[in-house]
């Protein structure tokens, strides 16, 4: 034990930032992993500096994933399998000439930020949050936290922690009696194991009858957003190190990921996106993305469920 303590002190002495990171995010490493994680952390500090140099502000910093390699992070925390709706059958929303600020949180139509953990179930969380919001807006249900675990484990059109697509989740729900509440079917896949399907039809609460997909493009997406939050899938280049405070103004390719679009700020022209990596990431779980050049492919496949 004393040897490990001395090893720990000697390794982190030259990087007080790493020690602060360990304390803030309650990181625990064994003696074989410590050296590797410190090396990854120091490399990521250079990555963060480079990312900020390409932005108008400084939205990137030391966050909860600063000890992970990019490929490792994408494998654990994203999960979109790349599918999109075809252009045929998409709903066309005409361009909004003057857009006001939109924030569905102010309408009590958005649940709290969730955490998918080390499971590629972002697609299930994006779909679940779509159901939560649209069910509330239908006037048939109070705002209720619903079961992302049911979708993760039971939708066989996707692959659980190995990835999927919100459209598949909506198709699955259309074939069932509906989606259970999180209180009845809580999330257990955060450690990386999808788990078995334990859906109980008698506990189904919110019914989904299908879904619609808006035509591609930010103007169409903005018009669609004026009437409801949207499930979106996109790239995440740089998202690993987003810490909030500034608007993200450039985005590289990265792990495919699905989230919920809940707002737009007119005066600074940016999207407000709700993520599923917990509140210690980003701006209390949210990210701000500049509108105008379809950053990260954010407007390629916005969709929303229809509620029965």
Please, are residues 151 and 127 in contact by the beta-carbon 8 Å criterion? yes
Q: Which of 162, 143, 1 is nearest to 79 (CA)?
A: 162
Q: Which of 75, 76, 83, 161 is nearest to 124 (CA)?
A: 161
Q: How many CA atoms lie within 13 A of 105 on its CB side?
A: 14
Sequence-separated (6 or more) residues with CB below 8 Å from residue 243: 59, 60, 61, 62, 63, 281, 282, 283
Among 119, 257, 258, 296, the active-site one is 257
Return d(Cα 221, Cα 217) in angstroms, integer.
6
Return d(Cα 153, Cα 190) in angstroms, integer.
12
Among 119, 233, 258, 275, the active-site one is 275
Tokens of 208: 């989904």
Please, are residues 178 and 279 in contact by the beta-carbon 8 Å criterion? no
Q: Which of 120, 80, 48, 50 is nearest to 258 (CA)?
A: 80
Sequence-separated (6 or more) residues with CB below 8 Å from residue 3: none
Q: Is 36 a catalytic residue?
A: no
Gyration radius of the chain's alpha carbons: 20
Q: Is 275 a catalytic residue?
A: yes
Q: Is 257 a catalytic residue?
A: yes
Q: Which of 83, 71, 161 is nearest to 122 (CA)?
A: 161
Q: Which of 207, 308, 222 is nearest to 265 (CA)?
A: 222
Among 44, 74, 119, 122, the active-site one is 122
The distance of Cα 197 from the centroid of its chain, to the nearest Å, equals 23
Please, are residues 290 and 211 in contact by the beta-carbon 8 Å criterion? no
Q: Active-site positions?
A: 122, 257, 275
């Amino acid at each position: 034990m004393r040897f490990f303590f001395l090893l720990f002190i000697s390794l982190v002495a030259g990087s007080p930032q790493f020690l602060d990171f360990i304390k803030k995010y309650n990181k625990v490493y064994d003696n074989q992993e410590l050296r590797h994680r410190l090396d990854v952390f120091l490399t990521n500090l250079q990555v963060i500096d480079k990312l900020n140099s390409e932005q108008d502000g400084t939205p990137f910093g030391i966050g909860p994933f600063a000890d992970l390699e990019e490929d490792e992070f994408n494998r654990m925390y994203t999960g979109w399998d790349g599918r999109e709706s075809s252009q045929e059958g998409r709903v066309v929303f005409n361009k909004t000439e003057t857009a006001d600020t939109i924030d569905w949180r102010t309408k009590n139509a958005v649940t709290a930020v969730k955490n998918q953990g080390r499971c590629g179930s972002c697609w299930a969380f994006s779909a679940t949050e779509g159901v939560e919001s649209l069910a509330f807006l239908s006037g048939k249900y109070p705002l209720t936290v619903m079961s992302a675990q049911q979708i993760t484990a039971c939708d066989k059109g996707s692959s659980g922690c190995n990835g999927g697509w919100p459209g598949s989740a909506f198709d699955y729900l259309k074939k069932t009696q509906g989606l259970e509440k999180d209180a009845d079917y809580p999330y257990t896949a955060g450690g990386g194991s999808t788990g078995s399907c334990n859906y109980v039809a008698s506990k189904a609460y919110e019914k989904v009858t299908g879904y619609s997909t808006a035509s591609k493009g930010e103007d169409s997406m903005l018009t669609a957003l004026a009437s409801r939050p949207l499930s979106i899938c996109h790239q995440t280049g740089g998202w690993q190190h987003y810490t909030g405070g500034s608007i993200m103004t450039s985005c590289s390719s990265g792990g495919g990921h699905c989230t919920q679009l809940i707002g737009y700020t007119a005066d600074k022209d940016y999207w407000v996106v709700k993520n599923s990596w917990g509140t210690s990431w980003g701006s209390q779980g949210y990210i701000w993305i500049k509108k105008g050049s379809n950053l990260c492919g954010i407007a390629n496949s916005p969709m929303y469920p229809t509620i029965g």
